[in-house]
């Protein structure tokens, strides 16, 4: 029992990403191009919720990933990607605009920001979960938008509020783990001249990424 508890404690205290988020050797022009491409991908993913009811819900959840990647490159570029995607959705699929603005898009930016600034799993998940909670809270109880479906009412009650808090933490946890997995695989696939993974002692290495 104690061994299981200590293992759980280590899990939450460990970093989601074991090396410093490297030195991205991208010119300002390349960063803008990358931001535009990631914004377009995010808009396409998010639009699936309106074009393909049912399965589109799961595809639209993937809109978090492009925002995360843009923010990992640069917090400013991530925020710019967030705004560009909102403008694209305003034209492509306005019905998904609120959902992206307050949930999937906001969560992607929050996870990317936490990866750069905090790194510890508990802190990343907690802050990302709190951000998602505030977004869902705004949609449900201020805009009265049933973002979680008809099963969760839009009237302010303690029961739905607790349910939203639990859902936000669990969803942010899964999203953070998925983003970490994709980032590690992406860094292993990219050539050294595009990105460097800088280890904690300052030496350039990719071994930590491959773990």
For 145-172, how does the pLDDT look when each residue is reduced to its tens digit (9 = 90+)? 888 776 666 677 777 788 889 999 999 9
Instruction: Check: CB of residue 197 under 8 Å from CB of residue 187.
Output: yes
Residue 127 CB contacts under 8 Å (≥ 6 apart), including other chains: 110, 114, 118
Is residue 40 packed enough to be buried (19+ CB in 10 Å), middle (13-18) or exposed (0-12)? middle
Domain boundaries, the chain: 23-198
Average pLDDT over residues 26-43: 88
Residue the block writes with tokens 């805009």: 143
Bridge partner residues of 196 (DSSP) = 23
Share of the chain above pLDDT 70, in %: 80
The CATH number assigned to the domain with range 23-198 reads: 1.10.1760
The pLDDT assigned to 141 comes to 84
Q: Which of 88, 85, 91 is nearest to 67 (CA)?
A: 85
The pLDDT assigned to 23 comes to 45
CA of residue 156 relative to chain centroid, distance: 27
Share of the chain above pLDDT 90, in %: 44
């Amino acid at each position: 029992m104690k061994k299981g508890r200590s293992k759980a404690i280590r899990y939450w205290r460990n970093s989601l990403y074991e090396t410093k988020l490297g030195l991205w050797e991208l010119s300002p022009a390349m960063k803008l191009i990358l931001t535009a491409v990631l914004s377009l991908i995010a808009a396409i993913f998010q639009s699936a919720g309106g074009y393909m009811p049912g399965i589109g819900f799961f595809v639209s959840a993937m809109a978090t990933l492009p925002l995360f990647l843009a923010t990992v490159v640069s917090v400013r570029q991530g925020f710019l990607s967030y705004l560009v995607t909102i403008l694209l959705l305003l034209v492509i699929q306005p019905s998904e605009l609120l959902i992206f603005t307050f949930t999937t898009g906001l969560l992607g930016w929050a996870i990317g920001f936490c990866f750069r600034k905090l790194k510890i799993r508990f802190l990343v998940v907690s802050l990302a979960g709190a951000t998602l909670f505030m977004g869902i809270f705004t949609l449900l109880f201020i805009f009265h938008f049933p973002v979680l479906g008809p099963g969760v009412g839009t009237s302010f009650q303690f029961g739905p509020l607790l349910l939203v808090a639990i859902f936000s933490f669990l969803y942010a946890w899964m999203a953070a783990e998925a983003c970490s997995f994709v980032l590690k695989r992406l860094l292993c696939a990219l050539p050294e001249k595009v990105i460097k993974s800088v280890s904690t002692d300052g030496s350039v290495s990719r071994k930590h990424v491959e773990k």
